[in-house]
Structure 1
Amino acid sequence: MPLEAPNLDDRRFKDLFEELRSLIPRYAPEWTDHNLSDPGITMMQLFSYLGEIILFRLNRVPDRNYIKFLQLIGVEQKAAAPPRAEVTFTLVSPAPPTVYIPQGTQIGAQVEPPPQSAIATPMLPPEPEEPVIFETDEPLIAIGAELTAILVFDGKTFTAAFRAAEEDSPIHIKHLILSTKREYQKLGKICEKTEFEPYYELVR
């Protein structure tokens, strides 16, 4: 089944007529007779009929005319550009630990055919297409190192340790409470009494 071109404007006679009649109070407030017997309403019906004919023909203009019409109002097509994709390089073995991948390295991507519908007539699988070739934009280094540990920075504990060092004393609960108060201030949060009991006096 061929694809149908979308309508550029799907308004019909009734839509155009109702739109015109709704504009009367804005542009002609002294016009109060909106009955079908009014000559002005008759003219609106005529223009709505002509407008529907124009829209009918407009929805059937070729693509080339559509592009030219867009150019007349300042809309230009984007220039053609090659497709871009993110790729991940994985080393087969950890030795050597690093591999240099130069710029312009070609990578092939196999295009998989779409799955057949359960209600479609069974057909032979299509011939495999040629792989799509990409090239890397920049040189990069693939690292074969394995993640063995993660260092996490705890701002609250660091601040508590810094306060204790200033007092030349071990870290006490007072230092942790005050450092927590500092983190709350950074986030714009209020120290609620229910959260800090029985140390609420330290954060007031």
Structure 2
Amino acid sequence: MTRILIAEDDLEIAYLERDYLEMQGYQVDVLHDGGLVESQLQKEDYQLLILDVMLPNKTGYDICRDVRDQVDFPILMVTSKQETMDVVRGLGLGADDYISKPFDPMELVARVKAHLSRYQRFHKPVNKEELTVGNLTIYLENWKVEKDGKEIKLPNREFELLVYLAKHPNRVFSKEHLFEAIWGYDYVGDSATVTVHVNRLRDKLGADLIETVWGAGYRLTV
């Protein structure tokens, strides 16, 4: 059974999220203290984390930053803040999606289903194909990336973006094209999300991996 962890200090919202997700057949655990999230993630095998930004003892931002390189499953951040910089900050720390309060519980369920579907699809062995880009080896079968033989953990969207660019080397794609290809039309956001994820890939895999073609977009040069 798919297991989800919710970290939310508003009891009414937390239990509403839990009830709707349990009605869809998911097993859900709830925490109200940000300081307990990391230890809980080590105790159980989760497939998705719903993370409120404003938690006691440790904020959602700090939790996302600290656990993102340890887990590869989707992280959805929930907050009452709606400013653009809050969204960019959450995505920059590795969150896969962002939803603002108040929200329709069925929208949350739809987001959860979409992210779990992507996660499970990428973790299901379909072939043994590998992509090699310079000193990088991308293993499509088990969603693994190695740089100079050392594994580099990438969350969902970063891996999908890297694979898409690696499958089309030396080709320039606009931010809008990449956003539609990786995030899809139904994602609540804009093409600025692409820039955030490109920068994260550069930080992890090398600043010269993805080239910015001014006025046109990005390309992975081989």
- Output the TM-score relative to the length of structure 1: 0.15
- Output the TM-score relative to the length of structure 2: 0.14
